[in-house]
Structure 1
Amino acid sequence: MPSSAYRFVRHLAAALAALSLVSAANAQSLPSVMSQLLYLPIYSHIYHGDLDAQGKPVQTLLSAHVAIRNTNSGKPLTLHYARYYDTDGKLIKDYVPKAVTIPPLGTHELFVPRSDVTGGSGANFLISWSADTTVNPPLVEALHADIQPERTLTFITSARPIHPRN
């Protein structure tokens, strides 16, 4: 019988393989732009299963690892803010309180810990970025995870432009 560490590694490897397929399938060719405002859905928890005696579904807490990837090989991007909002649309935190430069092919990372339940199941980030010239837009994704010895739950959400900054 395999050890729990072996099962954990096996579950993690399967999850990462599935996520790489999803990311490749979501890749699109987007027009060059100078700036954007992006909307990124985040889940600090998900509901699932049956209802309990009080009529509520089972809730699983998740961490969220946000990656803002500069897809340009020769041009930097400026990240102006990454504002985290809860299910009711209330601002919780600005994860980028002052502008940050993301170098060519660089990545800026944000992390919402599993223990941070303030966002709720309908949390989101608004992310503002710009460049000096037209560039490929960044690839912005959040990897949600709850990794336990018995099971692994992971999925990705992707950002969408909601308003050009121009």
Structure 2
Amino acid sequence: MNKILQLILLATLCFSCIDEQAISSISPVNWEKRKAREIILDSLEHGMTYLSVYSQIYSQTEHTTHSLTATVSMRNTSLKDTVYLSQAAYYDTHGTFLRSYFDETIFIAPMETVEIVIDEIDKDGGTGANFIFDWHIRHKAHEPVFEAVMISTSGQQGLSFSTQGKRVE
């Protein structure tokens, strides 16, 4: 019995020494590969989409929160046209800018989906986090679709829900 307790204690110590992961599982290298080269954005239609994202939700009372993992999907619904994103700006509950996921315009190929994953350990956004996406498309092309799926599991219970973006400009 004593050896079992020692093994449990040793395992706990080993796992507690592991460094926390990055707050997003999308590597900056992936954005580098997506840079749009030599595109003239002035010749394209511009739009802006708002997307609500929940890093946390209230549980039981307003003083208790439950952390969530969020998958933000940026989807090109066109069979032939490319979508260009010039911004994916992430804001917290209070409207404070937290970060932008890329610094230069990127592309999403026809029928492609690009994702941003906000890890469960990232609580910066809070209960009312949101994104603003600036995008550009060829005139009369399909507008991009922005969605978020939030999920959390604990033991045998799971929680999940989704949100959809709304064009604001």
Answer whether TM exceeds 0.5 for this pair.
yes
Correspondent of 1:42 among 38, 46, 53: 53
Deviation at 1:98, TM superposition (A): 1.4
The answer for the alignment partner of 1:158 in structure 2 is: 164
> Which runs of no fewer than 5 residues in structure 2 stay unpaired?
1-43
Q: After superposition, where does 1:7-46 map in structure 2 within 5 Å?
A: 34-46=45-57
Q: What CA distance in whole angstroms lies between the structure 1 residues aligned with 2:138 and 2:52?
A: 27
TM-score, normalising length from structure 1? 0.72
The answer for the alignment partner of 1:145 in structure 2 is: 151
Deviation at 1:128, TM superposition (A): 0.7
The answer for the alignment partner of 2:138 in structure 1 is: 132
The answer for the alignment partner of 1:60 in structure 2 is: 66
**2:110 partner amino acid:** P
**1:135 partner amino acid:** A
**2:152 partner amino acid:** D
The runs of at least 4 consecutive aligned structure 1 residues that moved more than 2 Å come to none
Give the strand-richer structure, 1 or 2: 1
The answer for the alignment partner of 1:106 in structure 2 is: 112
Correspondent of 1:119 among 125, 148, 152: 125
Deviation at 1:72, TM superposition (A): 0.3
Q: What CA distance in whole angstroms lies between the structure 2 residues aligned with 1:95 and 1:136?
A: 23
Deviation at 1:151, TM superposition (A): 0.6
**2:95 partner amino acid:** G
CA-based RMSD: 1.4
Deviation at 1:48, TM superposition (A): 2.3
Q: What CA distance in whole angstroms lies between the structure 2 residues aligned with 1:75 and 1:136?
A: 8
TM-score, normalising length from structure 2? 0.71
Q: What CA distance in whole angstroms lies between the structure 2 residues aligned with 1:34 and 1:138?
A: 12
> Which runs of no fewer than 5 residues in structure 1 stay unpaired?
1-32
Deviation at 1:95, TM superposition (A): 1.1
Q: Which has the larger radius of gyration?
A: 2
**1:73 partner amino acid:** L
Secondary structure in 2 matching 1:135: coil
